[in-house]
Structures are given as C-alpha cells and as structure tokens.
C-alpha cells in the first residue's frame, strides 16, 4: 500500500491505496464521487475526464499516485453544491447537449479546459477538433458543439 494525499474539489483527502490504483478508481470507489465515469479504460472515450492541477486528464489512465500532492477537480466540484450550475453545465442543459448523460461529465470537463486553453470565442471547427477523444453515442455532437460555444461565451470574465 502507498499513502496518497491530494485536494479533491477543494477538500484535502488522504488514503492508503494499492500503487496500481487508477485515479478514476480512487475517485469513484474510495471517495464515492461517481460523476466521473468509466467508459473504455483505454483513454479513448473521455467519460473519465477530470482536471488535475488545472489541466484536463483522463483519469482512467492516470494513477492516483500521480495526483499525490495535487489538486483534482471533478464534475461534482465544478459548481457549488448549493449554488447555480457552472455556465458550461447550464449551456449543456439549455442547448440539449446530452441525452443519456453518460459522456456529459467528461464532455463538460473537457469543454471547460478547452476554454482555458483556447479562449471564449470558439468556432465549430475548433470545438469539433478539440473534442477528439470524447465519444458520445447518442447525440451526433451537433447540440454538444452548440452548448460548448454558448458555455464558452458565458464563461467570459470567469476563471476557467
């Protein structure tokens, strides 16, 4: 076993884990933060995207020990529990950027990172290119692209 300590959604957490424990397993099984989904276990689908030290990572191929001493943000921590939705979450709701919802947490976390890296004025081509590695089996992406463009604009002036 190995000791791991990190901040998750603003709260300090410490645990003893098998060194092979993936970050997604740590979040879901140890911390019961089940908004981060496991889809493919191979970094192909993007359902497991979280932010590690402010950067989007696929938690199904990141070891929990790699996050030791770091800061992790999951979909559960994107907006305050007692507050309004994050602008990107609201945009997904408003523009019907989801159907079954399985890919949505990873899509939203990827989109927030996209805004951090690319800015608030995102065109369709950029969004579609940046979504490479995030799979949705339901929507055909049209409304996801609209939601991300709207969410990016709504995030203007707000720290990503």
* Domain carrying residue 12: 2-77
What is the model's pTM? 0.94
Is the pLDDT at 118 greater than 70? The verdict is: yes
Mean of the pLDDT values across residues 48-68? 97
pLDDT in tens, 21-42: 999 999 999 999 999 999 887 8
Which band of pLDDT confidence, cut at 50, 70 and 90, is reported for residue 12? very high
Final residue in a domain of this structure, among 23, 46, 77: 77
DSSP assignment of the chain equals -EEEEEEETTEEEEEEE-TT-BHHHIIIIIS--TTS--S-SSSSS-TTEEEETTEEEETTSSBGGGGTTSEEE-GGGSS-TTSPPPHHHHHHHHTT--SS-SSHHHHHHHHHHHHHHH-S---HHHHHHHTTT---SSS-SHHHHHHHHHHHHHTTTS--
Q: Are residues 64 and 116 in the same domain?
A: no
Q: Are residues 59 and 38 in the same domain?
A: yes
């Amino acid at each position: 076993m190995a000791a791991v300590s990190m901040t998750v959604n603003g709260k300090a957490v410490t645990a003893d884990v098998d060194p092979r424990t993936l970050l997604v397993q740590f979040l879901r099984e140890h911390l019961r933060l089940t908004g981060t989904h496991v889809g493919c276990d191979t970094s192909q689908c993007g359902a497991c995207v979280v932010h590690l030290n402010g950067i989007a990572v696929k938690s199904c191929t990141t070891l929990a020990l790699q996050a030791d001493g770091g800061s992790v943000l999951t979909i559960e921590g994107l907006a305050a529990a007692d507050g309004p939705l994050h602008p990107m979450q609201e945009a997904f709701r408003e523009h019907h950027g989801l159907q079954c919802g399985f890919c949505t947490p990873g899509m939203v976390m990827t989109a927030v990172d996209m805004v951090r890296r690319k800015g608030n004025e995102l065109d369709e081509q950029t969004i579609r290119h940046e979504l490479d590695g995030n799979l949705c089996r339901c929507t055909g992406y049209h409304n996801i692209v609209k939601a991300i463009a709207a969410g990016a604009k709504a995030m203007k002036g707000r720290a990503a």
